Structures are given as C-alpha cells and as structure tokens.
Amino acid sequence: MDPNPDPDPPTVPDPDPVVTAARRVTDALQPRNVLLGGMLAIGASAAGHWTGLLWGLLGALCAGIVPAAYIEWERGRGRWGDRHVVDRTKRAPIFFVILGSIGTGSALMVLGGAPTGILIAMLALWVMTVGLLAVNTVWKISVDSAVASSVVTLLACVHSAWWLLAYGVTAAVCWSRVALRYHTTAQTLAGAGLGAATALAYLPG
C-alpha cells in the first residue's frame, strides 16, 4: 500500500443551473439574433413577397450584425471583456455605431425603393437607440430587453396581433439579464417599455 497516497482532487462545484440557463437564453436571444429573425419577417411582410427578405437582411445587418461585429472588434483590442459591456460609461460608442449603421442602411433603402414597412421598422429602431443613449448617460437601461420588445411589437404591427404572444421571448430576455446580474428588474422593464413605445409610435396606419 502506498504510504503517501495522493490526496483526493478538490471538488469542483456544479455550476448553478439557473445561471447556466440564463446564460444560454441571453446568448441565444441576443440583439443580433433577434434582429436577424425579426427583420427578415418584417421585410417579407412589408414587401409581400420573397424580395422583402433581402431588405430585411439589410436591416438586420445594419441594426444588429454590424454593431455586434464592432463589439467583437473592440473586445479583440482588449477594450471590453465581453459583448455585455457591463460598464455603462463605456457604452456610448456602441450607440453611435448603431445610429450610424441604421442611418446608412435606411438611406440605402430609400435609394433602393424599399417597402414602407421596413423603413418604418428602421426608423423605430433608430429612435429607440437615441432613447437608449440618452437614458444610458444616467442609468444602465437594458438594450437586450429593448430590442426584444421592439422586434416583437413591430412584428405584431406589420403581421398580426398574434405576434404579441412572442412577448414570452421578451420576458425570457428580461429574466436572463436579471438572473445574470447584468441588470435590475427595473432596468429590463424600462428597456422593454422603451422598445415597445418607439415601435408603436411608428405603427403603420
């Protein structure tokens, strides 16, 4: 028998299942992904045929994919630890990139004769971003919750009120942000409220 047996390896605690679930939800439903699915659906509805998917893809590119790529680029430079950018004071450049990108995409849509519905969605997202930027100067409002709420509301406006059932997705985003302690409940509800309000303000007549 070995007189000096190796000690038992340290016990690694199991990850908190709530935190694990919340992280999966927040990663799956991050703004880039929500905007990709939502803007494709909005574009198709606005155009009434498959070509609207191309306008929706442009909208998703400008509103979600370009800003996400910018965040990843800054992460690579060591400026931010992850996509969540938990320090509120460092978020302003992201909002300006989003505003510029959505503005550029909207201009291309106007020049290309895009359907009114997708232009309305872009304008709603632009105004929402202005609101997020303004609030962020004093308070850490939730961007993820705002985007999830705005997209669901826009889908309900351009498709059918049945899309309001998808607010379960928005609720899941709000829950995940609170569970991960990135935001308080008030911050997620404020984001969701802002997203819905700016989308409804541009409800097609």
* Domain residue limits, the chain: 27-201
Look at the alpha carbons of 73, 132, 184, 173 in this order and tell me if their dihedral is positive or negative: negative
Give residues with Cβ within 8 angstroms of 194, minimum separation 6.
128, 131, 132, 135, 141, 146, 149
pLDDT of 89 > 90? The answer is no
pLDDT category of residue 79 using cuts at 50, 70 and 90 = confident
CA distance 72 to 87: 16
Q: Would you state the pLDDT for residue 204?
A: 59
Provide mean pLDDT across the span 158-185. 93
pLDDT of 28 > 60? The answer is yes
Q: Would you state the pLDDT for residue 169?
A: 96
**115-152 pLDDT tens trace:** 988 999 999 999 999 999 999 999 999 999 999 999 99
Among the listed residues 143, 94, 154, the one whose alpha carbon sits nearest the alpha carbon of residue 119: 154
Q: Would you state the pLDDT for residue 49?
A: 85
Report yes or no: 117 and 46 within 8 Å, Cβ to Cβ: yes
pLDDT of 21 > 90? The answer is yes
Token pair recorded at residue 54: 């191309």
Kindly report the CA angle at 126 between 107 and 179, in degrees rounded to 5? Answer: 140
Average of per-residue pLDDT values in the chain: 89
> What's the chain's Rg over C-alpha atoms?
20
Provide mean pLDDT across the span 8-21. 67
Residue type at position 195: G
Provide mean pLDDT across the span 84-107. 93
Report yes or no: 106 and 153 within 8 Å, Cβ to Cβ: no
Q: Would you state the pLDDT for residue 48?
A: 86
Higher pLDDT: 49 or 179? It is: 179
Q: What percent of the chain has pLDDT over 70?
A: 92
Q: Would you state the pLDDT for residue 177?
A: 96
Report yes or no: 3 and 121 within 8 Å, Cβ to Cβ: no
pLDDT of 57 > 90? The answer is yes
Report yes or no: 64 and 35 within 8 Å, Cβ to Cβ: yes
Q: Would you state the pLDDT for residue 2?
A: 46
**29-50 pLDDT tens trace:** 999 999 999 999 999 988 888 8
